[in-house]
Structures are given as structure tokens and as C-alpha cells.
Amino acid sequence: MHKPDAMLLKRARANAEAAGYPLARRLQRRRVVLVTGASVGLGLALARRLIAEQTQQQYHIILTSRESSLARFEEQGIDASETLWIRSLDVTDANQRCDLVSEIDGKLGGVDILINNAGVAYRSCVEHVTEPERLHQMNINFRSPLELIRCVLPGMRARRSGKIINISSVGGMMAMPTMSVYSASKFALEGASEALYYELKPWNVSVTLVQPRFMRSDAFAKVPYTVMSAKALSDCSDPYHEHYYHMERFIAKMMNRALATPDSVAKKVARIARSKSPPLRVYGSLDAVAFAWLRCILPRRFYTWLLYRNLPKVRHWGQR
Ligand SMILES: NC(=O)c1ccc[n+]([C@@H]2O[C@H](COP(=O)([O-])OP(=O)(O)OC[C@H]3O[C@@H](n4cnc5c(N)ncnc54)[C@H](OP(=O)(O)O)[C@@H]3O)[C@@H](O)[C@H]2O)c1
């Protein structure tokens, strides 16, 4: 055996032992991909992509959704198999997160690619979000993905390989009125992921943020409002009524006209999963690239003035 091979084998054995998984099984194992929120929208499109590439890429796929949504997989013709697990996971539940990762560590030798996709987007102005609502938003979009990352990291570091893909948003680089807590959660995810990118480089673990703008889907129809923002939307005399009324229509129009679809974004995510060294940020659509450039090249004051002037019917806002 050549010296470098012997060294590689020694390192592989050490890594396997560190991961508590028998070496022989580790050397032939499939790459384990874990996707959160996979029963609908982008997560479902991604599930389909990964399944299509499964044989070629030698993936072991684990699709998760909350217990109440598990039936959707069968409705979509996605059936569990030896190399395709379907598991219930409410990302905000610490026990469910730990149990799932322990099961994967024990039976499959760990997660190789973690895709934090599950997310929710509250529509509300800052004045209309209570602390519990704010925590709920932050829990799903920011705190839980980070906790899941913390669960899979010891294994990835021990194996000296892994990929973390966090689905962010253009809302994580520019904020829009009535989407304050959503933007806050995605800005937080962006900040933590950027730090993590540098922290994990020494172990050959990559971190990538995917930033879609709007995707052509009906997701706007199921956007949750906070208790106070829902009242403001239905009450024409509320001082914020025009904010919600016009933004709701504007966002629905943008989503109907969006170039990006869950499938086109899923294609990009699947490419990141295959890539040897993915970058920190990947734009989910062409308009996301355009907004990133505008933010870079325009003087800050002009940029915020321009955005404000272009808000839908902004002249009427706050007139009551
Ligand atoms: N739609 C867009 O235009 C857009 C734009 C930019 C970024 N994004 C981001 O892309 C990702 C997917 O968005 P989407 O439009 O596909 O959303 P979607 O259709 O509303 O689906 C959201 C997914 O998140 C899951 N989820 C919500 N709360 C959860 C919890 N507590 N535990 C586990 N799963 C939970 C849902 O799971 P269940 O199946 O259990 O309900 C569902 O699968 C999100 O991170 C979102 O912020 C979307």
C-alpha cells in the first residue's frame, strides 16, 4: 500500500471511529441528505429532484414534515423505501430533532447534507407583532435550523466532510414593509450562516445560503397574519390598513408573475448538493441577482428613497 493511501485509510478509520460507525459500512455508505419541510412547495420540488438523482448520486434521502403533513407524501406518489425515509419532524421540537439525528447517526452513519428548508413568513408590521408571535417566527426560521446544524455538526467534523444548505430569501438581504419579523429571521439566519462558513472551513464542511426572491406558487395564499395584523387588514379604519391591503396585492402579483418556480430553485439547490465546493451565497433567481446589485451599487440613501417611492400606492399609506 502506498504511503498516502495508508495515511488516508488511517484517517478514514479515525473518522469512522470518531463517528461511532463501523469502517467497512462507512466506506460503502450512500450520502445521507436530510430535508426539512419537504411535503410542499420548494421542499417537495427538491424532494422530487433528489429522488430523480438518487441512483446517480448514491443518495440516502430523508424527507421530513410535521406529523400532520406526512400524508401529503403518499398523495404526491412519494413512497418510503430502504434508501428513502419519510420521517415526522417539527423543527421547533428539540426531542424530535435529537431523536431523528440519533437514529440517522446510528443506522446510517450521520447526515452528509443538511437542507434547512422549512420556513414560515408572517405578514405583519412591527407594531402588530407580539413577543410570542415573534418568537414563533424566529424559532422556525432561525433558531431551529441552527439547532439542527448543531446536532449534525459533530458527525460532519469527525468525517471531515459535509454540506449545510440554508434556504434564506431576498428578504434576508433587503427588508420590506409588513414583513418585519420574517426579514429579521432571515437576516439572522444569514449572519449566523456567514460566520459558520468560516468556522467550518477547516473541517471541509461547506455552508451555503440560497436566496430566492418570489417563487411562482400559491404560498402567498397561506401566509399567516398575526392577530393584530389580520385585524388591521380587515378594518378599513386601522392606521395600517393601507400598508397591508396594498402590500398583500403587490406580493400576490409578484408571486404570480415571478420567473422563479419551486422547481427552478430546487434545481439550484440540487446542484449545490452535488457541487464539490459550493459558495456561501447562491441567488435563487435573476431578480435576486438584480436586487443584490442594486443594493451594492446605489448609494444607500438613494436606494431606500427609490424603494420607498416604488411601494404600491405608498402616497395613501398613513393617511387615516
Ligand atoms: N415562497 C417564496 O416565494 C419564497 C421566497 C423566498 C424564500 N422562501 C423560503 O423557501 C422556503 C420554503 O418556502 P415555500 O414557499 O416552499 O413554503 P411553503 O410552501 O409555505 O412550505 C413551508 C414548509 O415549511 C414547513 N414548516 C413550517 N413550520 C414548520 C415546523 N414547525 N416544523 C417543520 N416544518 C415546518 C411546512 O411543513 P408542513 O409540511 O408540515 O406544513 C412546509 O413544508 C422557506 O424557508 C421560505 O422562507 C420562499
CA of 202 to the centre of ligand 1 (A): 31
Rounded to the nearest angstrom, the gap between the alpha carbon of residue 172 and the centroid of all alpha carbons in its chain is 11
313 is catalytic: no
- Tell me if 9 is assigned to some domain: no
- Tell me if 15 is assigned to some domain: no
Per-residue model confidence (pLDDT) at position 27:
60
Q: Which atom of ligand 1 is nearest to the CA of 40?
A: 43
Q: How confident is the model at residue 26 (pLDDT cuts 50, 70, 90)?
A: low
- Tell me if 14 is assigned to some domain: no
- Looking at the chain, the whole-number percentage of residues with pLDDT higher than 70 is 91
Per-residue model confidence (pLDDT) at position 8:
45
Protein residues whose CB sits closer than 6 Å to any atom of ligand 1: 36-37, 39-43, 65-66, 69, 89-92, 117-121, 140, 167, 169, 212, 214-215, 217, 219, 255, 262
From 169, 254, 257, 291, the mutation candidate for ligand 1 (largest count of ligand atoms within 8 A of CB) is 169
Q: Give the C-alpha separation, 315 to 79, whole Å.
A: 52
- Tell me if 5 is assigned to some domain: no
From 70, 117, 182, 253, the mutation candidate for ligand 1 (largest count of ligand atoms within 8 A of CB) is 117
Once rounded to an integer, what is the mean pLDDT over residues 164-171?
Answer: 97
Per-residue model confidence (pLDDT) at position 54:
97
On average, the pLDDT of the chain sits at: 92
- Tell me if 20 is assigned to some domain: no
Q: Give the C-alpha separation, 31 to 117, whole Å.
A: 19
Cell 412547495 locates to 41
Q: Note the pLDDT tens digit of each residue in 60-85.
A: 999 999 999 999 999 999 999 999 99
* Active-site choice (21, 59, 182, 283): 182
Q: Give the C-alpha separation, 103 to 110, whole Å.
A: 9
Q: Which atom of ligand 1 is nearest to the CA of 258?
A: 3
- Tell me if 13 is assigned to some domain: no
From 64, 168, 214, 215, the mutation candidate for ligand 1 (largest count of ligand atoms within 8 A of CB) is 215
| pLDDT(217) > 90 | no
Q: Spell out the alpha helix ranges (H) of the chain.
A: 3-18, 23-27, 41-57, 71-75, 94-108, 131-138, 144-159, 180-200, 227-234, 241-257, 262-274, 286-297, 300-309
Q: Note the pLDDT tens digit of each residue in 43-56.
A: 999 999 999 999 99
186 is catalytic: yes
What CATH number did the domain enclosing 299 receive?
A: 3.40.50.720
Per-residue model confidence (pLDDT) at position 221:
76
Sheet holding 31-35, edge to edge: 84-88, 59-65, 31-35, 113-116, 162-167, 205-211, 281-283
222 is catalytic: no
- Tell me if 82 is assigned to some domain: yes
Tally of domains in the chain: 1
Per-residue model confidence (pLDDT) at position 24:
57
216: containing domain:
25-316
- Tell me if 11 is assigned to some domain: no
Once rounded to an integer, what is the mean pLDDT over residues 279-287?
Answer: 94
Q: Note the pLDDT tens digit of each residue in 130-156.
A: 999 999 999 999 999 999 999 999 999
Q: Give the C-alpha separation, 10 to 27, whole Å.
A: 13
Once rounded to an integer, what is the mean pLDDT over residues 86-100?
Answer: 98
Sequence-ordered list of residues with C-beta below 8 angstroms from that of 173, at least 6 positions apart, any chain: 187, 190, 211, 291, 292, 295
CA of 245 to the centre of ligand 1 (A): 23
